[in-house]
Structure 1
Amino acid sequence: MMNEKKTDLPYLMRQYPGLEKIPWIHLIDSPTPVEKLIGLEKELDFKGIYIKRDDLTNPEYGGNKPRKFEFLLGRALKRKKKHILTMGGIGSNHCVANSMFCKQLGLKSVVFLQNQPLTDHVRKNLLLELFYEAKIVHKKTEAGLGTAMIWYMLTHWRSYLIWAGGSNKIGTIGYVNAAFELKKQIDDGIFPEPDFIFTTTGSSGTTAGLLLGCELAGLKSKIIGITVSSEQWASRKRVLDLARKCLAYLRRFDTKIPEIPLSKLENRLEMNTNYFGGTYGIVTDKGQYAVDLIKKTDNIELETTYTGKTLSGLMSFIEKYRDSLQDKTILFINSFSSADQTEKVKKMDYRSLDGKLHRYFDGRIPLSKKVVKIDSNFKNS
């Protein structure tokens, strides 16, 4: 922590002062706004839809990642690490965020990437990693990635590994804190307490943090995680496991934090796998429709890998349970960065990337045009 005033501390630390011992750096503009989605409400003929604008967490690169990096990079800096390693698909937002914050903090970002369906968004993120001077290591298999990471860490002793999506017990704290931020906004009368919070579940840390945070903050909200990756990364079991590990870690610093029975977390959490599409990064018809619709109704930018799928789940939820949702409040967490990166991307020439990555730009690998059709009926998993 860098000599922050008490009023600048994360909301979680203000509630539990013992947590001030946890390494943390100030990266986000907090609180992020909560707004009513008036246009979408009109389109769906439903009142009570709000959006948490976490796309605005940081002016250069927003979304859910900056909340996690406040704690992840705080820990790395305290341990005097210089090389920050992480992993993801070739279009990973997390890897871009890692590279951006590392450049700001004078650290070296090393990103280990593997394939996903090629889209314009994938190309943009590869060029952003070039802009932020990341070292890019591309492998075809997870085994290849693992071997390359181990070798890098053995040959660079001041390396620090951040797990995919920043989702471990440390990164999860970022969204425990976000729940306390929501509690303050509710108490201040900015919006009514949500009955349901819809969040994207890619590597599970955001969902786990909100789950634990809402329980600790005393909110009634049920957490609905829409999965956008395979069960290895996004599952009910993984979310609950991350929440429990994060709770145990927090209680090491402040014993005033209560123990929480697993049953309480289980009863608050609902996971839905029906909007994933079967392959990480694949475009779904419902996800694309949701992206296009909210751009038209409320001028909100989403994308098809993560947040578009989550919004499509929210819309199907309203469609199926409309009668029982009267007078209920639904909150959508926008975890996609809305920062305009156009000028940065324009400055980059893909030919400055490693030659093995040129195929993603020169036509040897065509842009994916595959769109998976999803059953629009919301089904609990």
Structure 2
Amino acid sequence: MYDDLPLFRRYPRLLACLPWVSLGEWPTPVQHARGLEEAHGFTSFYIKRDDLSSRLYGGNKVRKLEFSLACALRKGYGRIMTMGAAGSNHVLATAMHGRRLGLATTALLFGQPCAEYVRRNLLADYRCGVRMVWAGSIPGIPMAYAKEKAAALLRGERLYWLGPGGSSSSGSIGYVNAGLEIAEQVEAGLLPEPDYVVSAMGTHGTCAGLWLGLRLAGMRSQLVGAAVVETAYCNPTLWARLVNRTSAMLNRLDPGIKAPEAHPSDLVYLSGELGRGYAHLTPADVRAVCEAQELEGLQLEGTYTGKALAAALDMGRELGGGESILFINTYNSADLTPLIGGLDHRLLPQPFQRFFEMPCRALEYELQGPDGG
């Protein structure tokens, strides 16, 4: 079990001091995207299939949750409190995988553009027993947090706080392992060493861990973060801070690791596909989702991976197509239909029923297949 993680094989001292619980299936495969290569005139384009990280619920959150939920368990907590947009995949992943471990979930949720995936994820949250708290907006989160903490104290319940996207130092270690995993796949000849590794970037945890893992493995690949959240919340400075907190944590646990520090300039930051903001679709975003489906049989979505793939394709064209690119598919591809089939949205708390009554965002129905953010 531990042997599945190159992090523990490389740094065995971490086994004694770093909480971890098995939730995913590792390593996730890499796919040679020949259809995208041919369509765009690229020499080398590969996809890291983290959408296959779990048959229950995959995507990038699984790697983070293996470490963050293990911390909660070790400290004796029985309920996680976290936050996200109404259709948050992080909230749903926390609920689904937490339930496997006997952990309940409280979610502080705020508004976002309506989409089919928002409706689907809200129903799945309800089915998983999530305590759904409407915060209204991001500025409303502190008040909602305080009220939930007070209510939990009255119930005699302790709440383990898990920040947005699960992007804590411990959660980011999941993607340190991913960087080391990519290096092993390169060594095994499954793909060439990428010149660029491209991922969606929202709360920084995936990109922070990836950069550290790639550096620890001695790879020269440049990390590209495609912004999917407004600049106030998603930028190279905040990314570097999380890298350095994660690096300090690893070095504290095992001084022999010698994890490096990052500077904001170490990240190739692309914000051109953000459009009007979080969860607002762009024409290039929609085209990328459709191309992935048509050319690679790959299900992406428009809030994160569509924008990141659009950024990767645009960057590849600007570079002339001669560079080797690895795109990280952070979406979940497990089918949630059996989980939510027949569930009436009127069972949801009243504030969340609005998402079934308002129109969906612009370009929603130009997407192929279900969406998810």
TM norm. shorter chain > 0.5: yes
Deviations 1:181-202 (A, max 9, x none): 1111111111111110000001
Structure 2 Cα separation of the partners of residues 200 and 258 of structure 1: 27
For residue 81 of structure 1, what is the aligned residue in structure 2? 77
User: Would the aligned equivalents of 1:17 and 1:254 in 2 still touch at CA under 8 Å?
Assistant: no
User: Would the aligned equivalents of 2:244 and 2:261 in 1 still touch at CA under 8 Å?
Assistant: no
User: Does residue 332 of structure 2 align to residue 337 of structure 1?
Assistant: yes
For residue 273 of structure 2, what is the aligned residue in structure 1? 275
Q: Shift in Å at residue 259 of structure 1?
A: 4.8
For residue 312 of structure 1, what is the aligned residue in structure 2? 310
Where 1:172 maps in the other structure, the secondary structure is helix
User: Would the aligned equivalents of 1:88 and 1:165 in 2 still touch at CA under 8 Å?
Assistant: yes
User: Does residue 6 of structure 2 align to residue 11 of structure 1?
Assistant: yes
For residue 347 of structure 2, what is the aligned residue in structure 1? 352
Cα RMSD after superposing both structures: 1.4
> Out of 62, 67, 72, which is 1:71 matched to?
67
User: Does residue 255 of structure 2 align to residue 292 of structure 1?
Assistant: no
**What amino acid is aligned across from residue 341 of structure 1 in structure 2?**
L
Deviations 1:293-331 (A, max 9, x none): 110001000000000000000111122121xx52x3100
Structure 1 Cα separation of the partners of residues 281 and 20 of structure 2: 36
Deviations 1:251-281 (A, max 9, x none): 111111115254xx55542101111113211
Deviations 1:87-132 (A, max 9, x none): 1111111011011112211111111110000011111111110111
Where 1:139 maps in the other structure, the secondary structure is strand
Runs of 5+ consecutive residues of structure 1 not aligned to the other structure = 372-381
Q: Out of 230-239 and 149-158, give the one that drifted further.
A: 149-158
Kindly report which structure 2 residues correspond to 1:157-306, keeping only aligned pairs within 5 A, or say none.
Answer: 157-262=157-262, 265-266=263-264, 268-306=266-304
Structure 2 Cα separation of the partners of residues 14 and 155 of structure 1: 43
Deviations 1:221-272 (A, max 9, x none): 000100000223311001111000000001111111115254xx55542101
For residue 119 of structure 1, what is the aligned residue in structure 2? 115
Deviations 1:21-72 (A, max 9, x none): 1001001100000010011111112220000000000101100000000000
Q: Structure 2 length as normaliser, TM-score?
A: 0.93
Where 2:80 maps in the other structure, the secondary structure is strand
Which segments of structure 1 move beyond 3 Å, counting only runs of 4 or more?
265-268
**What amino acid is aligned across from residue 317 of structure 1 in structure 2?**
M
For residue 368 of structure 1, what is the aligned residue in structure 2? 361
Structure 1 Cα separation of the partners of residues 351 and 150 of structure 2: 24
> Out of 45, 57, 63, which is 1:49 matched to?
45
Structure 2 Cα separation of the partners of residues 37 and 27 of structure 1: 27
**What amino acid is aligned across from residue 199 of structure 1 in structure 2?**
S
Where 2:139 maps in the other structure, the secondary structure is helix
User: Would the aligned equivalents of 2:216 and 2:259 in 1 still touch at CA under 8 Å?
Assistant: no
**What amino acid is aligned across from residue 19 of structure 2 in structure 1?**
P
Structure 1 Cα separation of the partners of residues 84 and 187 of structure 2: 37
Where 2:68 maps in the other structure, the secondary structure is helix
Call closer, same or farther: CA 1:23–1:211 in 2, change over 3 Å.
same
User: Would the aligned equivalents of 1:130 and 1:348 in 2 still touch at CA under 8 Å?
Assistant: no
Structure 1 Cα separation of the partners of residues 162 and 273 of structure 2: 27
User: Would the aligned equivalents of 2:239 and 2:264 in 1 still touch at CA under 8 Å?
Assistant: no
User: Does residue 33 of structure 2 align to residue 37 of structure 1?
Assistant: yes
User: Would the aligned equivalents of 2:58 and 2:334 in 1 still touch at CA under 8 Å?
Assistant: yes
Where 2:47 maps in the other structure, the secondary structure is strand
Structure 2 Cα separation of the partners of residues 261 and 76 of structure 1: 27
Structure 1 Cα separation of the partners of residues 39 and 132 of structure 2: 43
**What amino acid is aligned across from residue 159 of structure 1 in structure 2?**
L
Deviations 1:159-182 (A, max 9, x none): 101000011111111101100111
**What amino acid is aligned across from residue 336 of structure 2 in structure 1?**
Q
Structure 2 Cα separation of the partners of residues 94 and 72 of structure 1: 12
Q: Shift in Å at residue 139 of structure 1?
A: 1.9
User: Does residue 125 of structure 2 align to residue 132 of structure 1?
Assistant: no
Q: Out of 248-257 and 149-158, give the one that drifted further.
A: 149-158
Call closer, same or farther: CA 1:259–1:212 in 2, change over 3 Å.
closer
Structure 2 Cα separation of the partners of residues 127 and 76 of structure 1: 25
Structure 2 Cα separation of the partners of residues 343 and 155 of structure 1: 33
Structure 2 Cα separation of the partners of residues 81 and 261 of structure 1: 32
Q: Shift in Å at residue 370 of structure 1?
A: 5.8
Identity, % of aligned pairs?
Answer: 36
| Aligned residue pairs, count | 359
Q: Out of 155-164 and 288-297, give the one that drifted further.
A: 155-164
Q: Out of 300-309 and 343-352, give the one that drifted further.
A: 343-352
Runs of 5+ consecutive residues of structure 2 not aligned to the other structure = 365-373
